[in-house]
Structure 1
Amino acid sequence: MDKIFITPHLYRVHHSINHLYLDTNYSNMFSFWDILSRTYQEETPQEKPVYGVMDRDIDSQNLVSTQLKM
């Protein structure tokens, strides 16, 4: 099922900040697009996803400038 549809496992990987999981699982509904574009990554038992923001300080409340810094 993970090879066709985005599941909670793949969604957790997409939102994690682990180095292994960065820039993976971009597809919205179908994970086969990630497989074709080589951005597919399964959740591994050895590395649990850690959620959050990368270790960059956000020094502004301006949404546009914050997005440009990321």
Structure 2
Amino acid sequence: MNKLYRSRTNSRLTGLCGGLAEWMGFSPTFIRLAVVFAALCSFGTVLLIYFIASLIIPKEPYGNYDFHNPYHNY
């Protein structure tokens, strides 16, 4: 079972969307668009949850690179 981490390699703001995308096997762009859409529809509640999750979910350890995952950026 994969463990959820914030991504070091696929990070824009905190790496949370990149980490979720790696964990679920989706495109990071799809996750980011879904978060932006949900934030607009929820009047910012999703942004609060996003930043709380960014504080709770740990950063990906160094050397934990998966060469079989096509969503990692170099």
Q: Name the TM-score class by shorter chain.
A: under 0.3
More helix by proportion, 1 or 2? 2
State TM-score, norm by structure 2: 0.27
Rg larger in structure: 1
Q: TM-score, normalised by structure 1?
A: 0.28
